[in-house]
Structure 1
Amino acid sequence: MRITVAILTYNWPTALERVLEALARQTRLPDEVIVTDDGSRPDTRAVIERVAATFPTRLVHVWQPDDGARMSRARNRAIAAATGDYIILLDGDMVAEPHFVADHEAFAMKGCYVQGSRVLSDEALTARMLADGSVRATFFTPGIERRRHTLRLPWLARLYATPGRKTRGIKSCNMGFWRDDLIAINGFNETMTGWGREDTELVHRAYHYGLQRREMRFSGLATHLYHRTRKNVVDNPNDRILDDTRQRRLVRCERGLDQHLAEFVAAPPDVRSPTERAASP
């Protein structure tokens, strides 16, 4: 089982550096990490190249021009470029606990996708984490919300993992899918731009296709770095697209992943030098 972690980023290179550092310290390394970039400035590429000097596994940077918030397109390009059988979707402000990838691997099940959770850090804790990569959110750390999501309890996690079709708490910042399932439903809907609902719309099509959800609580832990929210969108057009998907029970979207598969028939290059690539497992 090859695992790709696909990180969505946009113009926050200091956060991205912490996210990559956390993935480099995993007990089970991903086989590939793809940073899919929604049009960041060159300083993001500079961080990726600096991290690549010591990164322990294949590292790819996929960039698209900045033309507004096109998260669906950016994620689809990462899925198309992925060489893994299983894809963990992670946002560029989510710092993973050391067992994050191993837990996702343990929860992966055919016919299901995995929905992870997150710890919310406040502005002060985020500043500490950005300044010092060794700072981690634990149950007793001040400045966090959803404190229960700091607890890694694999025996309890298994009790929550019964497959179902829950629609609350859908978050693409921490999700796991088999790549073949994402291809079958044509990935994210690229008619959805701006903030929100693209992950919910994807999951509804996944349910129409026949997938179920495995809830990953007390496992697959990650800390969300604080930033101002963009959730308060009035009359969001993405809501109407979501409603249409529900009413028509759509499985595939018209504008999706298939637009990018031909571009990535040959896998994109590893950012690391040939010497570093040869030294990796």
Structure 2
Amino acid sequence: MQKQITVALLISTYNWPEALDLSLSSVLLQSKMPDEILIADDGSTEETKIIIEKYKKLFNIPILHFWQEDLGFRKTLILNKAIAGAKSDYIIEIDGDIIIHRKFIEDHINFAIPGTFVRASRGYLSKKLSAKLVSKQVSKINIFNKNVDNFFSVIRIPFLWPLFEKKYKIKGDELYEIHGCNMAFWRSDAIKVNGYNESFTGWGPEDKEFIARLLNIGVKKRFLKLGAVAFHIYHKENSRASLAENQRLFKETIALKKVYCEYGINQYL
């Protein structure tokens, strides 16, 4: 029996409308729909808005488009704005270059437990397969295709979830491992720690620092392995120009056991 919670699917995007199109088309195929879709758009051009408007006509649930001016990589700001605007209890977060299995939302709902957040996995699509899917706008994927990597992240075996839930990647530095492209948390918990830290600009590791503060207030990490299957469309790596400073902020949060960031979601509530 499915749990009676309200769920938002949060999708971050920036100037890749073709990938967002594939991602949203995979949401249309879900066995269980979210209650709302939140698009956190870090300053994309009109092409992305056109894709979103197309899907607003195809879904019978709200699609909320949160946009900010393109002033560089400011993902933390737009994520906070979207989470602040959510009406749902539970947030499932992916990136706009992720294609999801048809049981993705259902799996996350069935795995959700108060007082915890969830890390899940993703498989990697090769450059060749990604280009083919994007050009043909096809979001159905054969997991046995030789161009799909990380096989044990793209098979779905629900009865094995308990084997990994509390024992997999929870010791040492692995405790802070998380993928912003496939994670889930309670909106109320995010607000308690003031959401994402807007002192982070540029790529990484804003997701790790966010969950470090969740851990510091006592929220437990659980790993959803062999479920909530997601596929990552190939693209070139983002610039690492700000990584050293962002890593410093992340390590500071761990060392000082911070539970709150100075610049976060509270300004949007």
Normalized against structure 1, the TM-score is what?
Answer: 0.89
- Summarize deviations over 1:141-173 as a string: whole Å, max 9, x none: 121221111200001123211275642531111
Q: 1:241 to 1:28 in 2, by over 3 A?
A: same
2:92 aligned counterpart, secondary structure: strand
Return the match for 1:33 from 32, 37, 55. 37
Distance 1:142 1:102 in 2: 27
- Is the contact made by 2:202 and 2:241 (CA closer than 8 Å) also made in structure 1? no
Q: 1:233 to 1:147 in 2, by over 3 A?
A: farther
Number of matched pairs? 261
Q: 1:100 to 1:44 in 2, by over 3 A?
A: same
- Tell me the equivalent position of 2:247: 239
How far residue 87 of structure 1 moved from its aligned partner, in angstroms, is 0.4
Distance 2:232 2:243 in 1: 27
Give unpaired runs (5+ residues) of structure 1.
Answer: 262-281
Q: 1:78 to 1:125 in 2, by over 3 A?
A: same
2:87 aligned counterpart, secondary structure: coil
The residue identity in structure 2 corresponding to 1:186 is N
How far residue 135 of structure 1 moved from its aligned partner, in angstroms, is 4.5
Normalized against structure 2, the TM-score is what?
Answer: 0.93
- Is the contact made by 1:107 and 1:214 (CA closer than 8 Å) also made in structure 2? no
- Tell me the equivalent position of 1:260: 268
Distance 1:172 1:223 in 2: 13
Return the match for 2:163 from 139, 159, 162. 159
Q: Which 10-residue stretch deviates more, 93-102 or 159-168?
A: 159-168
- Summarize deviations over 1:65-109 as a string: whole Å, max 9, x none: 111101111111110000110001110001110000000001111
- Tell me the equivalent position of 1:62: 66
- Tell me the equivalent position of 2:177: 169
Return the match for 1:184 from 186, 189, 192. 192
- Is the contact made by 1:196 and 1:231 (CA closer than 8 Å) also made in structure 2? no
Return the match for 1:44 from 44, 48, 61. 48
**Identical aligned residues as a percent:** 35
- Tell me the equivalent position of 2:15: 11
Distance 1:242 1:167 in 2: 13
Distance 1:36 1:234 in 2: 21
- Tell me the equivalent position of 2:214: 206
The residue identity in structure 2 corresponding to 1:223 is F
- Is the contact made by 2:22 and 2:138 (CA closer than 8 Å) also made in structure 1? no
The residue identity in structure 2 corresponding to 1:244 is E
Distance 2:82 2:122 in 1: 22
- Summarize deviations over 1:243-262 as a string: whole Å, max 9, x none: 2111110001000010111x
Return the match for 1:197 from 197, 205, 209. 205
Give unpaired runs (5+ residues) of structure 2.
Answer: none
2:175 aligned counterpart, secondary structure: coil
Distance 1:256 1:172 in 2: 17
Distance 1:67 1:107 in 2: 37
Q: 1:135 to 1:25 in 2, by over 3 A?
A: closer
Do residues 99 (structure 1) and 103 (structure 2) align? yes
Q: 1:154 to 1:23 in 2, by over 3 A?
A: same
Do residues 81 (structure 1) and 85 (structure 2) align? yes
Q: 1:61 to 1:179 in 2, by over 3 A?
A: same
How far residue 52 of structure 1 moved from its aligned partner, in angstroms, is 1.6
The residue identity in structure 1 corresponding to 2:233 is L
Distance 2:196 2:180 in 1: 11
The residue identity in structure 2 corresponding to 1:16 is L
1:242 aligned counterpart, secondary structure: helix
How far residue 116 of structure 1 moved from its aligned partner, in angstroms, is 1.0
